[in-house]
Structure 1
Amino acid sequence: MATIQECREALDRLSDNLARADGDVRGAAAFDRSLSCHVTDLDQTFSGRLRDGRIQVDALTAGPPPAKAEIRLAMTGDDLLALVGGELKFAKAWASGRVRLEAGFRDLLRLKSLL
């Protein structure tokens, strides 16, 4: 089972990857939205913002997200590490229910090039 520290490091790596991206991927990530990532097996939520192509984590709270973020993710810690590490493809994980993504329709359209 992944630890909170490993999950935080995975989110930092994801942020670094987004910041280094080019073209359509960089453009898709270059907007300002509140973001939460609930690590279900640890019952902890990272909250922050997706801003200017980076993920800025502002808080870690116990339980599900305390407020409804504009972009909401939920998955196990191991799945988060596998997604960021490239061992798990987002589309497959989302289709099988291993990863939940909730966002407005326009945000989903922009995010599709990231995923």
Structure 2
Amino acid sequence: MALIDIDRERGLLTVEFQGLDKLWTFKSRLEIPLAHVRGATHDPGMAREPKGIRVGGTHFPGVITAGRFRHDGERLFWDVKNPDKAVVIELADAETYDRLVIEVDDPRATVALVEQAVSHR
């Protein structure tokens, strides 16, 4: 699971990976400029979509999808074990990823946090 936070002073969306997710994703944190964040949705169905090609990370179907993937020309970053808690963060002008698909503790609160930050840029 991951914690998502907004740092308005630095203009960043941060994703902090917890526990073993650091191992599965090969990352401890991501920092995305808020200017590159288009929005977020709670999308449990996204976790059931084809993942594409794993570039780095872990994928055991039905158990965990974590790390970097490429699908239909998109660069995706995944960290999902429980699809019901998946949040999709759409990015624009991103240098590294087009979308983040992240499992969070409270998807609705996370979407509200991201959407509020995007609307107040």
Question: Into which bin does the TM-score normalised by the smaller protein fall?
Answer: under 0.3
TM-score (normalised: structure 1)? 0.25
Q: Which has the higher strand share?
A: 2
TM-score (normalised: structure 2)? 0.24
